[in-house]
């Protein structure tokens, strides 16, 4: 049974919970789900509401014609301090605070110890693609266009874009995509590892659900810690990475879910994990 949970006052992100899956929807279809301060503030709040034991996976998608057109330029000046400050130039301190707050908002997708699957369609560019990159997996509908066009504006991807894109597709490909500002289609994105799989138009949410349910069959504490181990350990040395593994494993070794998993194997049955 679906459980609907309201977003912030503007409902720029809505959430519903159906069984073990929470669905978060960017809900500005009239603006092509362009991201403004309201969206950035609502995202961590909605993730906090989804962070409950019965939820085993989160699907993030966009209402309307596209996943997200990127930053909302109509609110860029007021939100970022790009308007002239008292000295006649832009308020750079305010701008840096906006960037930091935006980074923190997307970081919430990585901090939550639940898998987050982005279901992309239509278009995911700039900040919209940065949002998708903060998810653990990405499913793209055929025909989806995605890329980082910031250098066409004289800027660079600054909300984790250069960082996460490089970690996802590698140095050479990240440089090419960012420096050319090229938009690529879903098939090319899958070839370079930017998305996990490409599906028929209109089926991206159903495909994300299939992946979410496959993950949800496993022990949720182990899934959550596996996610955090990979995110934290990605750029550390091998020894530190393995120490993180050992620390996480020692924690999981004491859980009820581990005892249930071991018993289920011995008894040749499916385990019933409780997330504790």
Active site residues: 130, 150
Contacts of 153 (CB under 8 A, 6+ apart): none
The DSSP-derived string for 249-267 is HHHHTTSHHHHHHHHHHHH
Q: With contact defined as beta carbons under 8 Å apart, do 124 and 186 qualify? A: no
- Which residue, among 20, 37, 197, has the nearest Cα to 120 in the 3D structure? 197
Phi, psi of 66 (to 5 degrees): -140, 160
CA distance 207 to 159: 27
Under 8 Å between Cβ of 47 and 57:
no
Start-to-end CA span in the chain (Å): 24
Owner of token pair 């008894």 = 267
Contact status, residue 106 vs residue 131, Cβ threshold 8 Å: yes
273 contacts 257 by C-beta, under 8 angstroms: yes
Measured at the alpha carbon of residue 140, what is the angle toward residues 232 and 159, in degrees to the nearest 5? 45
The single residue listed with the structure tokens 């503030």 is 41
Token pair in block for residue 217: 């069959």
Is residue 65 within 8 Å of residue 29, measured between CB atoms? yes
């Amino acid at each position: 049974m679906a459980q609907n949970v309201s977003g912030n006052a503007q409902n720029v992100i809505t959430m519903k919970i159906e069984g073990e899956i929470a669905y978060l929807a960017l809900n500005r279809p009239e603006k092509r789900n362009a991201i403004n301060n309201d969206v950035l503030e609502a995202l961590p709040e909605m993730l906090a509401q989804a962070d409950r034991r019965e939820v085993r996976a989160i699907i993030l998608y966009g209402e309307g014609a596209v996943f997200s057109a990127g930053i909302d330029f109509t609110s860029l000046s007021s939100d970022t301090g790009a308007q002239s400050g008292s000295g006649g130039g832009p308020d750079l301190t305010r701008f840096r605070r906006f960037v930091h707050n935006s980074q923190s908002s997307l970081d919430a997708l990585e901090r939550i110890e639940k898998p987050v699957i982005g279901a992309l369609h239509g278009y995911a560019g700039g900040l919209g693609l940065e949002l998708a990159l903060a998810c653990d997996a990405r499913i793209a509908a055929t025909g989806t266009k995605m890329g980082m066009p910031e250098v066409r504006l004289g800027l660079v991807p600054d909300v984790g874009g250069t960082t996460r894109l490089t970690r996802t597709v590698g140095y050479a490909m990240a440089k090419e995509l960012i420096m050319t500002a090229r938009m690529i289609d879903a098939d090319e994105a899958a070839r370079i590892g930017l998305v996990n799989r490409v599906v028929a138009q209109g089926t991206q949410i159903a495909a994300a659900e299939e992946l979410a349910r496959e993950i949800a069959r496993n022990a949720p504490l182990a899934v959550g810690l596996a996610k955090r181990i990979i995110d934290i350990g990605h750029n550390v040395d091998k020894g530190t990475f393995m120490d993180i593994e050992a620390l996480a494993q020692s924690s999981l070794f004491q859980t009820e879910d581990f005892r249930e998993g071991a018993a289920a194997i011995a008894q040749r049955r499916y385990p019933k994990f409780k997330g504790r």
